[in-house]
Structure 1
Protein backbone atom coordinates (compact mmCIF):
# COMPACT_ATOMS: atom_id res chain seq x y z
CA UNK A 1 0.00 0.00 0.00
CA UNK A 2 1.00 3.64 -0.37
CA UNK A 3 1.22 5.55 2.89
CA UNK A 4 -0.69 8.81 3.15
CA UNK A 5 2.13 10.73 4.85
CA UNK A 6 5.61 10.12 6.30
CA UNK A 7 5.82 7.05 8.51
CA UNK A 8 8.63 5.57 10.56
CA UNK A 9 9.71 2.04 11.37
CA UNK A 10 10.99 2.04 14.95
CA UNK A 11 12.18 -1.58 15.12
CA UNK A 12 14.19 -3.33 12.40
CA UNK A 13 16.80 -6.07 12.75
CA UNK A 14 19.86 -5.92 10.53
CA UNK A 15 21.94 -9.09 10.17
CA UNK A 16 24.35 -10.45 7.61
CA UNK A 17 23.79 -14.00 6.31
CA UNK A 18 26.81 -15.43 8.12
CA UNK A 19 25.41 -14.22 11.46
CA UNK A 20 22.61 -16.81 11.38
CA UNK A 21 23.50 -19.95 13.34
CA UNK A 22 22.00 -23.42 12.69
CA UNK A 23 20.01 -23.34 15.94
CA UNK A 24 18.08 -20.33 14.65
CA UNK A 25 16.49 -22.30 11.80
CA UNK A 26 15.89 -25.30 14.05
CA UNK A 27 14.03 -23.25 16.64
CA UNK A 28 12.10 -21.16 14.15
CA UNK A 29 10.83 -24.29 12.44
CA UNK A 30 8.81 -25.10 15.56
CA UNK A 31 6.81 -21.88 15.46
CA UNK A 32 6.97 -20.52 11.90
CA UNK A 33 6.49 -23.21 9.24
CA UNK A 34 8.56 -22.25 6.26
CA UNK A 35 10.75 -20.00 8.37
CA UNK A 36 11.61 -16.43 7.42
CA UNK A 37 13.38 -14.82 4.48
CA UNK A 38 17.09 -15.41 5.07
CA UNK A 39 18.13 -11.87 4.17
CA UNK A 40 17.95 -8.93 6.54
CA UNK A 41 21.00 -7.05 5.28
CA UNK A 42 21.10 -3.32 4.61
CA UNK A 43 20.21 -3.57 0.91
CA UNK A 44 17.24 -5.83 1.64
CA UNK A 45 15.96 -3.47 4.33
CA UNK A 46 16.29 -0.44 2.08
CA UNK A 47 14.35 -2.21 -0.66
CA UNK A 48 11.66 -3.93 1.40
CA UNK A 49 11.01 -0.97 3.71
CA UNK A 50 11.33 1.79 1.13
CA UNK A 51 7.91 3.20 2.05
CA UNK A 52 9.19 4.45 5.40
CA UNK A 53 10.76 7.86 5.73
CA UNK A 54 13.27 6.73 8.38
CA UNK A 55 14.05 3.38 9.97
CA UNK A 56 15.65 2.50 13.30
CA UNK A 57 18.00 -0.45 12.87
CA UNK A 58 19.99 -2.56 15.32
CA UNK A 59 21.86 -5.84 15.26
CA UNK A 60 21.06 -7.82 18.43
CA UNK A 61 23.46 -10.42 19.71
CA UNK A 62 21.26 -13.41 20.46
CA UNK A 63 23.66 -16.19 19.50
CA UNK A 64 23.20 -18.39 22.57
CA UNK A 65 19.42 -18.06 22.72
CA UNK A 66 17.71 -17.34 19.42
CA UNK A 67 20.70 -18.25 17.26
CA UNK A 68 21.59 -14.96 15.60
CA UNK A 69 24.81 -13.20 16.54
CA UNK A 70 24.77 -9.69 15.13
CA UNK A 71 27.46 -7.05 15.48
CA UNK A 72 27.74 -3.31 15.94
CA UNK A 73 29.81 -3.16 12.76
CA UNK A 74 26.80 -4.50 10.85
CA UNK A 75 24.64 -1.64 12.09
CA UNK A 76 27.37 0.92 11.43
CA UNK A 77 27.85 -0.30 7.87
CA UNK A 78 24.10 -0.17 7.20
CA UNK A 79 23.85 3.40 8.49
CA UNK A 80 26.91 4.44 6.50
CA UNK A 81 25.40 3.03 3.31
CA UNK A 82 21.95 4.57 3.82
CA UNK A 83 22.52 7.58 6.09
CA UNK A 84 19.31 9.34 5.09
CA UNK A 85 17.19 6.25 5.73
CA UNK A 86 18.70 4.35 8.67
CA UNK A 87 19.20 5.46 12.28
CA UNK A 88 21.44 3.12 14.25
CA UNK A 89 20.82 1.81 17.75
CA UNK A 90 23.53 0.04 19.75
CA UNK A 91 22.99 -3.37 21.31
CA UNK A 92 24.06 -3.92 24.91
CA UNK A 93 24.84 -7.32 26.45
CA UNK A 94 25.61 -6.81 30.16
CA UNK A 95 27.18 -10.27 30.42
CA UNK A 96 30.26 -9.03 28.58
CA UNK A 97 33.00 -7.67 30.84
CA UNK A 98 33.50 -4.72 28.49
CA UNK A 99 29.82 -3.95 27.92
CA UNK A 100 29.98 -0.33 29.06
CA UNK A 101 33.12 0.36 27.05
CA UNK A 102 31.40 -1.08 23.98
CA UNK A 103 28.26 0.94 24.66
CA UNK A 104 30.20 4.18 24.97
CA UNK A 105 32.05 3.39 21.74
CA UNK A 106 28.78 2.76 19.89
CA UNK A 107 27.20 6.01 21.07
CA UNK A 108 30.21 8.32 21.12
CA UNK A 109 32.30 6.99 18.23
CA UNK A 110 29.83 5.24 15.94
CA UNK A 111 27.21 7.94 16.68
CA UNK A 112 24.34 5.54 17.26
CA UNK A 113 21.25 7.31 18.56
CA UNK A 114 19.75 4.75 20.93
CA UNK A 115 20.18 1.36 22.59
CA UNK A 116 18.43 -1.99 22.23
CA UNK A 117 18.42 -4.61 25.01
CA UNK A 118 16.82 -8.06 25.20
CA UNK A 119 16.59 -9.18 28.83
CA UNK A 120 15.00 -12.53 27.99
CA UNK A 121 17.62 -13.27 25.33
CA UNK A 122 20.65 -12.36 27.41
CA UNK A 123 19.23 -13.69 30.69
CA UNK A 124 19.74 -10.40 32.51
CA UNK A 125 16.71 -9.00 34.34
CA UNK A 126 15.94 -5.30 34.46
CA UNK A 127 16.72 -5.21 38.18
CA UNK A 128 20.16 -6.77 37.70
CA UNK A 129 22.89 -4.46 39.12
CA UNK A 130 24.73 -4.68 35.81
CA UNK A 131 21.93 -2.68 34.21
CA UNK A 132 22.31 0.34 36.46
CA UNK A 133 25.32 1.80 34.57
CA UNK A 134 23.36 1.36 31.32
CA UNK A 135 20.37 3.26 32.67
CA UNK A 136 22.55 5.99 34.13
CA UNK A 137 24.56 6.39 30.93
CA UNK A 138 21.49 6.52 28.70
CA UNK A 139 19.77 9.03 30.97
CA UNK A 140 22.84 11.28 31.20
CA UNK A 141 23.40 11.22 27.43
CA UNK A 142 19.79 11.53 26.22
CA UNK A 143 19.84 8.04 24.69
CA UNK A 144 16.50 6.17 24.45
CA UNK A 145 16.47 2.53 25.51
CA UNK A 146 14.31 0.05 23.62
CA UNK A 147 13.78 -3.19 25.53
CA UNK A 148 12.27 -6.43 24.31
CA UNK A 149 9.22 -6.85 26.49
CA UNK A 150 7.03 -9.88 25.98
CA UNK A 151 7.31 -13.52 25.11
CA UNK A 152 9.53 -15.37 22.65
CA UNK A 153 10.02 -18.90 21.34
CA UNK A 154 13.60 -20.04 22.23
CA UNK A 155 13.51 -22.50 25.15
CA UNK A 156 16.68 -21.12 26.77
CA UNK A 157 15.01 -17.92 27.93
CA UNK A 158 13.42 -16.54 31.09
CA UNK A 159 9.95 -15.49 30.02
CA UNK A 160 9.37 -13.56 33.25
CA UNK A 161 12.23 -11.22 32.28
CA UNK A 162 9.91 -9.96 29.54
CA UNK A 163 7.10 -8.86 31.86
CA UNK A 164 6.32 -5.15 31.40
CA UNK A 165 5.76 -4.84 35.16
CA UNK A 166 9.55 -4.89 35.63
CA UNK A 167 9.84 -1.62 33.68
CA UNK A 168 7.95 0.38 36.30
CA UNK A 169 10.72 0.51 38.97
CA UNK A 170 13.28 1.48 36.33
CA UNK A 171 11.08 4.31 35.09
CA UNK A 172 10.67 5.59 38.64
CA UNK A 173 14.38 5.41 39.43
CA UNK A 174 15.44 7.08 36.15
CA UNK A 175 12.70 9.62 35.36
CA UNK A 176 14.63 11.28 32.50
CA UNK A 177 15.42 8.00 30.74
CA UNK A 178 13.28 7.43 27.66
CA UNK A 179 12.18 3.77 27.83
CA UNK A 180 10.45 2.01 24.94
CA UNK A 181 8.73 -1.32 25.54
CA UNK A 182 9.01 -3.30 22.32
CA UNK A 183 6.08 -5.50 21.27
CA UNK A 184 3.82 -3.92 23.94
CA UNK A 185 4.88 -6.73 26.23
CA UNK A 186 2.62 -9.30 24.58
CA UNK A 187 0.81 -11.26 25.88
CA UNK A 188 0.85 -8.86 28.87
CA UNK A 189 -0.40 -5.97 26.75
CA UNK A 190 -2.74 -4.48 29.36
CA UNK A 191 0.14 -4.46 31.83
CA UNK A 192 2.22 -2.56 29.29
CA UNK A 193 -0.59 -0.09 28.60
CA UNK A 194 -1.00 0.95 32.23
CA UNK A 195 2.77 1.40 32.64
CA UNK A 196 2.91 3.60 29.53
CA UNK A 197 0.01 5.65 30.88
CA UNK A 198 1.49 5.95 34.37
CA UNK A 199 5.06 6.93 33.49
CA UNK A 200 5.73 10.03 31.35
CA UNK A 201 9.10 8.59 30.27
CA UNK A 202 7.79 5.19 29.08
CA UNK A 203 6.57 4.47 25.55
CA UNK A 204 5.31 1.41 23.71
CA UNK A 205 5.57 -0.01 20.21
CA UNK A 206 3.50 -2.65 18.45
CA UNK A 207 6.04 -4.62 16.44
CA UNK A 208 5.65 -8.38 16.26
CA UNK A 209 1.88 -8.41 16.84
CA UNK A 210 0.45 -8.45 13.32
CA UNK A 211 0.58 -12.25 13.06
CA UNK A 212 -1.37 -12.64 16.32
CA UNK A 213 -4.67 -11.05 15.27
CA UNK A 214 -6.62 -11.60 18.49
CA UNK A 215 -3.86 -10.28 20.75
CA UNK A 216 -3.25 -7.40 18.35
CA UNK A 217 -6.92 -6.38 18.34
CA UNK A 218 -7.07 -6.63 22.12
CA UNK A 219 -3.85 -4.66 22.50
CA UNK A 220 -5.09 -1.82 20.31
CA UNK A 221 -8.39 -1.72 22.19
CA UNK A 222 -6.40 -1.36 25.44
CA UNK A 223 -4.32 1.41 23.92
CA UNK A 224 -7.55 3.13 22.96
CA UNK A 225 -9.18 2.61 26.37
CA UNK A 226 -6.17 4.05 28.22
CA UNK A 227 -5.82 6.96 25.74
CA UNK A 228 -2.11 6.34 25.09
CA UNK A 229 -2.03 6.12 21.28
CA UNK A 230 0.21 9.20 21.15
CA UNK A 231 2.84 7.24 23.12
CA UNK A 232 2.75 4.07 21.00
CA UNK A 233 4.81 3.69 17.83
CA UNK A 234 4.77 1.60 14.69
CA UNK A 235 7.30 -0.81 13.25
CA UNK A 236 7.72 -4.08 11.41
CA UNK A 237 10.28 -6.08 13.40
CA UNK A 238 11.62 -7.05 9.96
CA UNK A 239 12.38 -9.77 8.96
CA UNK A 240 9.84 -11.25 11.40
CA UNK A 241 7.12 -9.37 9.56
CA UNK A 242 7.17 -7.50 6.27
CA UNK A 243 5.91 -4.02 5.50
CA UNK A 244 2.65 -5.37 4.04
CA UNK A 245 2.07 -7.76 6.93
CA UNK A 246 2.65 -5.10 9.55
CA UNK A 247 0.58 -2.34 7.93
CA UNK A 248 -2.25 -4.61 6.77
CA UNK A 249 -2.42 -6.20 10.22
CA UNK A 250 -2.76 -2.81 11.87
CA UNK A 251 -5.36 -1.49 9.45
CA UNK A 252 -7.43 -4.67 9.79
CA UNK A 253 -7.94 -3.92 13.47
CA UNK A 254 -10.13 -0.95 12.61
CA UNK A 255 -12.80 -3.33 11.32
CA UNK A 256 -15.27 -5.18 13.53
CA UNK A 257 -14.18 -8.73 14.18
CA UNK A 258 -16.87 -10.87 15.77
CA UNK A 259 -14.40 -13.60 16.60
CA UNK A 260 -12.20 -11.20 18.55
CA UNK A 261 -14.99 -9.99 20.89
CA UNK A 262 -13.20 -6.75 21.62
CA UNK A 263 -14.25 -3.23 20.57
CA UNK A 264 -13.29 -2.10 17.08
CA UNK A 265 -10.41 0.36 17.14
CA UNK A 266 -11.06 3.82 15.74
CA UNK A 267 -9.41 5.04 12.56
CA UNK A 268 -7.95 7.91 14.60
CA UNK A 269 -6.08 5.52 16.90
CA UNK A 270 -4.87 3.50 13.92
CA UNK A 271 -3.59 6.61 12.12
CA UNK A 272 -1.98 8.01 15.25
CA UNK A 273 0.08 4.87 15.79
CA UNK A 274 0.90 4.37 12.12
CA UNK A 275 2.25 7.90 11.70
CA UNK A 276 3.76 8.61 15.12
CA UNK A 277 7.27 10.02 14.76
CA UNK A 278 9.73 8.61 17.32
CA UNK A 279 12.23 11.28 16.36
CA UNK A 280 9.96 13.87 17.93
CA UNK A 281 9.36 11.93 21.13
CA UNK A 282 12.21 9.67 22.15
CA UNK A 283 14.95 12.25 22.55
CA UNK A 284 15.03 15.40 24.65
CA UNK A 285 16.64 17.25 21.74
CA UNK A 286 15.94 16.69 18.02
CA UNK A 287 17.88 13.96 16.20
Structure 2
Protein backbone atom coordinates (compact mmCIF):
# COMPACT_ATOMS: atom_id res chain seq x y z
CA UNK A 1 0.00 0.00 0.00
CA UNK A 2 1.20 3.53 -0.79
CA UNK A 3 -0.19 5.99 1.73
CA UNK A 4 -1.25 9.46 0.64
CA UNK A 5 -1.24 10.98 4.13
CA UNK A 6 0.00 10.00 7.58
CA UNK A 7 -1.69 7.00 9.16
CA UNK A 8 -2.42 6.66 12.87
CA UNK A 9 -3.03 3.47 14.84
CA UNK A 10 -5.47 4.07 17.67
CA UNK A 11 -5.32 0.63 19.31
CA UNK A 12 -2.22 -1.50 19.90
CA UNK A 13 -1.46 -4.00 22.67
CA UNK A 14 2.07 -4.10 24.07
CA UNK A 15 3.04 -7.21 26.02
CA UNK A 16 6.35 -8.77 26.95
CA UNK A 17 6.84 -12.52 26.28
CA UNK A 18 6.73 -13.48 29.96
CA UNK A 19 3.29 -11.87 30.32
CA UNK A 20 1.65 -14.54 28.15
CA UNK A 21 0.18 -17.32 30.31
CA UNK A 22 -0.36 -20.92 29.10
CA UNK A 23 -4.17 -20.51 29.14
CA UNK A 24 -3.86 -17.78 26.48
CA UNK A 25 -2.38 -20.16 23.91
CA UNK A 26 -4.88 -22.88 24.85
CA UNK A 27 -7.88 -20.60 24.37
CA UNK A 28 -6.54 -18.98 21.22
CA UNK A 29 -5.94 -22.36 19.57
CA UNK A 30 -9.64 -23.15 19.99
CA UNK A 31 -10.83 -20.09 18.03
CA UNK A 32 -7.88 -19.15 15.82
CA UNK A 33 -5.86 -22.23 14.83
CA UNK A 34 -3.46 -20.19 12.72
CA UNK A 35 -2.30 -18.31 15.79
CA UNK A 36 -0.94 -14.79 15.98
CA UNK A 37 2.45 -13.11 15.62
CA UNK A 38 4.47 -14.52 18.54
CA UNK A 39 5.57 -11.17 19.96
CA UNK A 40 4.04 -7.81 20.77
CA UNK A 41 6.93 -6.15 22.57
CA UNK A 42 8.07 -2.59 21.88
CA UNK A 43 10.68 -3.50 19.27
CA UNK A 44 8.24 -5.74 17.39
CA UNK A 45 5.62 -2.98 17.37
CA UNK A 46 8.08 -0.37 16.11
CA UNK A 47 9.07 -2.66 13.26
CA UNK A 48 5.65 -4.03 12.30
CA UNK A 49 3.85 -0.68 12.59
CA UNK A 50 6.58 1.46 11.03
CA UNK A 51 4.19 2.88 8.43
CA UNK A 52 2.10 4.59 11.08
CA UNK A 53 2.99 8.13 12.09
CA UNK A 54 1.92 7.65 15.73
CA UNK A 55 0.59 4.65 17.61
CA UNK A 56 -1.49 4.45 20.80
CA UNK A 57 -0.23 1.59 22.98
CA UNK A 58 -1.48 0.02 26.19
CA UNK A 59 -0.80 -3.15 28.16
CA UNK A 60 -4.14 -4.65 29.27
CA UNK A 61 -4.26 -6.83 32.35
CA UNK A 62 -6.32 -9.78 31.14
CA UNK A 63 -4.64 -12.53 33.15
CA UNK A 64 -7.77 -14.18 34.52
CA UNK A 65 -9.73 -14.06 31.26
CA UNK A 66 -7.68 -14.09 28.06
CA UNK A 67 -4.51 -15.11 29.91
CA UNK A 68 -2.19 -12.15 29.31
CA UNK A 69 -1.19 -10.07 32.30
CA UNK A 70 0.28 -6.79 31.13
CA UNK A 71 1.72 -4.01 33.25
CA UNK A 72 1.93 -0.23 33.25
CA UNK A 73 5.71 -0.54 33.33
CA UNK A 74 5.57 -2.34 29.97
CA UNK A 75 3.75 0.58 28.38
CA UNK A 76 6.05 3.12 30.03
CA UNK A 77 9.16 1.32 28.77
CA UNK A 78 7.78 1.17 25.22
CA UNK A 79 7.00 4.89 25.19
CA UNK A 80 10.40 5.72 26.67
CA UNK A 81 12.14 3.70 23.97
CA UNK A 82 10.12 5.11 21.05
CA UNK A 83 8.82 8.48 22.28
CA UNK A 84 8.19 9.88 18.80
CA UNK A 85 6.17 6.83 17.75
CA UNK A 86 4.22 5.61 20.80
CA UNK A 87 1.60 7.37 22.91
CA UNK A 88 0.85 5.50 26.12
CA UNK A 89 -2.57 4.77 27.61
CA UNK A 90 -3.03 3.44 31.13
CA UNK A 91 -4.99 0.30 31.87
CA UNK A 92 -7.45 0.39 34.77
CA UNK A 93 -8.77 -2.64 36.64
CA UNK A 94 -11.22 -1.47 39.33
CA UNK A 95 -11.12 -4.82 41.13
CA UNK A 96 -7.59 -4.16 42.34
CA UNK A 97 -6.80 -2.35 45.60
CA UNK A 98 -5.49 1.13 45.00
CA UNK A 99 -6.65 1.25 41.38
CA UNK A 100 -7.27 4.99 41.49
CA UNK A 101 -3.84 5.67 42.97
CA UNK A 102 -2.36 3.61 40.16
CA UNK A 103 -4.40 5.50 37.58
CA UNK A 104 -3.27 8.86 38.95
CA UNK A 105 0.35 7.65 38.92
CA UNK A 106 0.05 6.46 35.31
CA UNK A 107 -1.38 9.78 34.12
CA UNK A 108 0.46 12.25 36.33
CA UNK A 109 3.84 10.56 36.73
CA UNK A 110 4.17 8.25 33.73
CA UNK A 111 2.46 10.89 31.53
CA UNK A 112 0.07 8.48 29.84
CA UNK A 113 -2.42 10.34 27.68
CA UNK A 114 -5.49 8.11 27.94
CA UNK A 115 -7.03 5.06 29.62
CA UNK A 116 -8.10 1.64 28.38
CA UNK A 117 -10.66 -0.58 30.12
CA UNK A 118 -12.19 -3.94 29.18
CA UNK A 119 -15.39 -4.60 31.14
CA UNK A 120 -15.88 -7.93 29.44
CA UNK A 121 -12.41 -9.09 30.52
CA UNK A 122 -12.38 -7.85 34.11
CA UNK A 123 -16.03 -8.65 34.81
CA UNK A 124 -16.88 -5.10 35.91
CA UNK A 125 -19.80 -3.47 34.14
CA UNK A 126 -19.78 0.17 33.08
CA UNK A 127 -22.51 0.89 35.64
CA UNK A 128 -20.45 -0.51 38.52
CA UNK A 129 -19.93 2.13 41.25
CA UNK A 130 -16.19 1.44 41.15
CA UNK A 131 -16.09 2.98 37.69
CA UNK A 132 -17.50 6.34 38.75
CA UNK A 133 -14.20 7.74 40.11
CA UNK A 134 -12.52 6.61 36.88
CA UNK A 135 -15.01 8.56 34.77
CA UNK A 136 -14.78 11.61 37.02
CA UNK A 137 -10.98 11.63 36.99
CA UNK A 138 -10.76 11.20 33.23
CA UNK A 139 -13.30 13.95 32.61
CA UNK A 140 -11.56 16.37 34.98
CA UNK A 141 -8.15 15.75 33.45
CA UNK A 142 -9.03 15.59 29.72
CA UNK A 143 -8.10 11.90 29.56
CA UNK A 144 -9.98 9.92 26.87
CA UNK A 145 -11.30 6.49 27.79
CA UNK A 146 -11.11 3.62 25.30
CA UNK A 147 -13.54 0.81 26.14
CA UNK A 148 -13.45 -2.72 24.73
CA UNK A 149 -17.03 -3.04 23.55
CA UNK A 150 -18.13 -6.18 21.75
CA UNK A 151 -17.63 -9.89 22.01
CA UNK A 152 -14.59 -12.00 22.87
CA UNK A 153 -13.58 -15.66 23.04
CA UNK A 154 -12.59 -16.55 26.68
CA UNK A 155 -15.28 -18.77 28.21
CA UNK A 156 -15.19 -16.96 31.55
CA UNK A 157 -16.12 -13.60 30.06
CA UNK A 158 -19.67 -12.26 30.37
CA UNK A 159 -20.64 -11.31 26.83
CA UNK A 160 -23.42 -8.97 27.96
CA UNK A 161 -20.88 -6.58 29.49
CA UNK A 162 -19.67 -5.77 25.99
CA UNK A 163 -22.96 -4.35 24.70
CA UNK A 164 -22.50 -0.80 23.33
CA UNK A 165 -25.82 0.29 24.87
CA UNK A 166 -24.08 0.39 28.25
CA UNK A 167 -22.00 3.33 27.02
CA UNK A 168 -25.01 5.63 26.57
CA UNK A 169 -25.72 6.33 30.28
CA UNK A 170 -22.04 6.99 30.92
CA UNK A 171 -21.88 9.46 28.04
CA UNK A 172 -24.94 11.27 29.40
CA UNK A 173 -23.62 11.43 32.96
CA UNK A 174 -20.14 12.62 31.92
CA UNK A 175 -20.68 14.84 28.86
CA UNK A 176 -17.11 16.19 28.80
CA UNK A 177 -15.54 12.72 28.94
CA UNK A 178 -14.26 11.56 25.55
CA UNK A 179 -15.29 7.89 25.17
CA UNK A 180 -14.05 5.59 22.40
CA UNK A 181 -15.86 2.32 21.71
CA UNK A 182 -13.27 -0.15 20.48
CA UNK A 183 -14.18 -2.61 17.73
CA UNK A 184 -17.48 -0.77 17.11
CA UNK A 185 -19.03 -3.12 19.62
CA UNK A 186 -19.14 -6.02 17.18
CA UNK A 187 -21.41 -7.88 16.54
CA UNK A 188 -23.66 -5.08 17.88
CA UNK A 189 -22.30 -2.56 15.39
CA UNK A 190 -25.66 -0.88 14.76
CA UNK A 191 -25.97 -0.17 18.49
CA UNK A 192 -22.54 1.39 18.44
CA UNK A 193 -23.35 3.51 15.39
CA UNK A 194 -26.47 5.07 16.90
CA UNK A 195 -24.67 5.82 20.18
CA UNK A 196 -21.78 7.49 18.33
CA UNK A 197 -24.26 9.59 16.36
CA UNK A 198 -26.34 10.51 19.42
CA UNK A 199 -23.54 11.51 21.81
CA UNK A 200 -21.08 14.26 20.82
CA UNK A 201 -18.50 12.87 23.27
CA UNK A 202 -18.56 9.27 21.97
CA UNK A 203 -16.41 7.90 19.12
CA UNK A 204 -15.92 4.50 17.52
CA UNK A 205 -13.05 2.57 16.04
CA UNK A 206 -12.92 -0.47 13.78
CA UNK A 207 -9.88 -2.35 15.06
CA UNK A 208 -10.05 -6.12 15.01
CA UNK A 209 -12.81 -6.32 12.39
CA UNK A 210 -10.67 -7.09 9.33
CA UNK A 211 -10.95 -10.84 9.96
CA UNK A 212 -14.75 -10.54 10.19
CA UNK A 213 -15.36 -9.38 6.60
CA UNK A 214 -19.16 -9.55 6.61
CA UNK A 215 -19.42 -7.74 9.96
CA UNK A 216 -16.93 -5.11 8.77
CA UNK A 217 -18.84 -4.55 5.53
CA UNK A 218 -22.12 -4.21 7.43
CA UNK A 219 -20.51 -1.99 10.05
CA UNK A 220 -19.11 0.38 7.43
CA UNK A 221 -22.52 0.58 5.75
CA UNK A 222 -24.06 1.53 9.11
CA UNK A 223 -21.35 4.15 9.63
CA UNK A 224 -22.20 5.52 6.20
CA UNK A 225 -25.96 5.44 6.78
CA UNK A 226 -25.64 7.35 10.05
CA UNK A 227 -23.06 9.81 8.61
CA UNK A 228 -20.53 9.26 11.39
CA UNK A 229 -17.37 8.40 9.42
CA UNK A 230 -15.68 11.50 10.84
CA UNK A 231 -16.10 10.01 14.34
CA UNK A 232 -14.72 6.55 13.56
CA UNK A 233 -11.02 5.74 13.73
CA UNK A 234 -8.58 3.26 12.26
CA UNK A 235 -6.06 0.89 13.82
CA UNK A 236 -4.81 -2.66 13.95
CA UNK A 237 -5.41 -4.17 17.41
CA UNK A 238 -1.92 -5.65 16.93
CA UNK A 239 -1.02 -8.47 17.46
CA UNK A 240 -4.58 -9.61 16.69
CA UNK A 241 -4.20 -8.16 13.20
CA UNK A 242 -1.23 -6.78 11.31
CA UNK A 243 -0.87 -3.54 9.36
CA UNK A 244 -1.50 -5.24 6.02
CA UNK A 245 -4.48 -7.22 7.32
CA UNK A 246 -6.13 -4.14 8.79
CA UNK A 247 -5.57 -1.91 5.74
CA UNK A 248 -6.46 -4.55 3.15
CA UNK A 249 -9.57 -5.56 5.10
CA UNK A 250 -10.79 -1.98 5.03
CA UNK A 251 -9.93 -1.20 1.41
CA UNK A 252 -11.66 -4.29 0.03
CA UNK A 253 -14.96 -3.02 1.45
CA UNK A 254 -15.00 -0.17 -1.08
CA UNK A 255 -14.80 -2.53 -4.05
CA UNK A 256 -17.86 -3.36 -6.14
CA UNK A 257 -19.79 -6.43 -5.03
CA UNK A 258 -22.00 -8.58 -7.24
CA UNK A 259 -24.49 -9.54 -4.56
CA UNK A 260 -27.24 -6.95 -3.87
CA UNK A 261 -27.32 -8.20 -0.29
CA UNK A 262 -23.84 -6.80 0.34
CA UNK A 263 -24.13 -3.08 1.10
CA UNK A 264 -21.83 -0.81 -0.85
CA UNK A 265 -19.59 1.67 0.95
CA UNK A 266 -18.25 4.79 -0.71
CA UNK A 267 -14.55 5.39 -1.19
CA UNK A 268 -15.01 8.66 0.71
CA UNK A 269 -16.15 6.84 3.85
CA UNK A 270 -13.24 4.40 3.61
CA UNK A 271 -10.80 7.26 3.08
CA UNK A 272 -12.17 9.25 6.01
CA UNK A 273 -11.70 6.32 8.40
CA UNK A 274 -8.34 5.18 7.03
CA UNK A 275 -6.77 8.60 7.46
CA UNK A 276 -8.51 9.52 10.70
CA UNK A 277 -6.37 11.26 13.31
CA UNK A 278 -7.37 10.60 16.94
CA UNK A 279 -4.84 13.15 18.18
CA UNK A 280 -7.00 15.91 16.73
CA UNK A 281 -10.32 14.79 18.28
CA UNK A 282 -9.95 12.66 21.38
CA UNK A 283 -8.72 15.50 23.56
CA UNK A 284 -10.24 18.92 24.12
CA UNK A 285 -6.82 20.30 23.17
CA UNK A 286 -4.97 18.32 20.43
CA UNK A 287 -1.80 16.61 21.63
Aligned to 2:68: 68
Pairs within 5 Å for 1:36-115: 36-115=36-115
Q: Say whether the 8 Å CA contact 1:2–1:51 is kept in structure 2.
A: no
| Residue 12 (str. 1) matches residue 12 (str. 2) | yes
Q: Distance in 1 between matches of 2:76 and 2:206?
A: 25
Aligned to 2:278: 278
Alpha-carbon distance, 1:184 to partner: 0.0
Q: Distance in 2 between matches of 1:253 and 1:130?
A: 40
Q: Distance in 1 between matches of 2:109 and 2:155?
A: 36
Q: Distance in 1 between matches of 2:257 and 2:172?
A: 38
Q: Distance in 2 between matches of 1:190 and 1:11?
A: 21
Aligned to 1:216: 216
Alpha-carbon distance, 1:262 to partner: 2.8
Q: Distance in 2 between matches of 1:160 and 1:112?
A: 29
Aligned to 2:136: 136
Q: Distance in 2 between matches of 1:142 and 1:164?
A: 22
Aligned to 1:184: 184
| SS state at 2:254 partner | coil
Q: Distance in 2 between matches of 1:285 and 1:215?
A: 33
Query: What is the total number of aligned residue pairs between the two structures?
Result: 287
Alpha-carbon distance, 1:97 to partner: 1.3
Alpha-carbon distance, 1:31 to partner: 0.7
Q: Deviations over 1:16-54 (max 9, x none)?
A: 000000000000001111211110000000000000000
| SS state at 2:77 partner | helix
Aligned to 1:197: 197
Q: Say whether the 8 Å CA contact 1:256–1:263 is kept in structure 2.
A: no
Alpha-carbon distance, 1:2 to partner: 2.3
| SS state at 2:146 partner | strand
Unmatched 5+ stretches in structure 2: none
Unmatched 5+ stretches in structure 1: none
| SS state at 1:90 partner | strand
Q: Distance in 1 between matches of 2:261 and 2:134?
A: 41
Alpha-carbon distance, 1:257 to partner: 2.9
Aligned to 1:207: 207
Deviates more, 1:153-162 or 1:30-39: 30-39
Runs of 4+ in 1 over 4 A off after TM superposition: none
With structure 2 as the length reference, what TM-score do the two structures score?
Answer: 0.99
What CA RMSD, in Å, does the superposition of the two structures yield over aligned residues? Answer: 0.8
With structure 1 as the length reference, what TM-score do the two structures score?
Answer: 0.99
Q: Distance in 1 between matches of 2:150 and 2:176?
A: 23
| SS state at 2:282 partner | coil
Q: Distance in 2 between matches of 1:242 and 1:140?
A: 35
